[in-house]
Amino acid sequence: MRFKAVARVENGVTETPEDWDKVVSRLVFEKEYTEGLKGAGHFRHVWVLFGFHRMRTTLMTVHPMRNPDIPEVGVFASHSPTRPNKIGMTKARLIRVEGNVVTVKGLDAFDGSPVFDIKPPEEEIDYRPARRPRKSR
């Protein structure tokens, strides 16, 4: 299946920083998707599905966190970007949504990464039925 970037990450980060948690990123959506962001600012966090677009390596087993002291596990038992499909999935703090730009904190994606999707965390969803006006008879 082919996926297109609905947004790009803008954060100026080109090398692994000391602490991704402190990184603020702007997800700049294609204008055609702006309407899809309606109500997206309601949540405290947001799942971001993005591409590890600089990663070319695929490994079946890895030392988690590139720590050679941690025994090797399968790549599917880890979050290593060396997975067959280079898809990252991170729950970031949602700062704000303005127009076509979603600003988040704590996203571990390099500058220019394609964003495929964002989703609200299940546990923060609290849709409520609107009160409907009663029909007068």
Binding positions for a second copy, rule: CB under 8 A: 1-6, 33, 35-40, 42-43, 47, 49, 51, 53, 60-61, 64-65, 67, 69-79, 83-87, 89, 91, 114, 116-120, 122, 125, 127-130, 132
Please report how close the Cβ of residue 12 comes to a second copy at its closest, in angstroms.
22
Please report how close the Cβ of residue 109 comes to a second copy at its closest, in angstroms.
14
Q: Is 42 helix (H, G, I), strand (E, B) or coil?
A: helix
Please report how close the Cβ of residue 51 comes to a second copy at its closest, in angstroms.
5
Q: Do residues 93 and 24 touch, judged by C-beta distance below 8 A?
A: no
Tell which residue, 30, 25, 26, has the closest CA to residue 4.
Answer: 30
Please report how close the Cβ of residue 42 comes to a second copy at its closest, in angstroms.
6
Half-sphere exposure of 7 (CA within 13 A, CB side): 24
Q: Which residue number, 17 or 84, has a Cβ lying nearer to a second copy? A: 84
Cα–Cα distances (Å) from 41 to 5, 9, 19, 53, 102, in that order, read: 20, 17, 25, 26, 8
From CA 69, how far away is CA 67, in angstroms rounded? 5
Q: Which residue number, 14 or 34, has a Cβ lying nearer to a second copy? A: 34
Q: Which residue number, 70 or 98, has a Cβ lying nearer to a second copy? A: 70
Q: Do residues 54 and 42 touch, judged by C-beta distance below 8 A?
A: no
Please report how close the Cβ of residue 102 comes to a second copy at its closest, in angstroms.
8
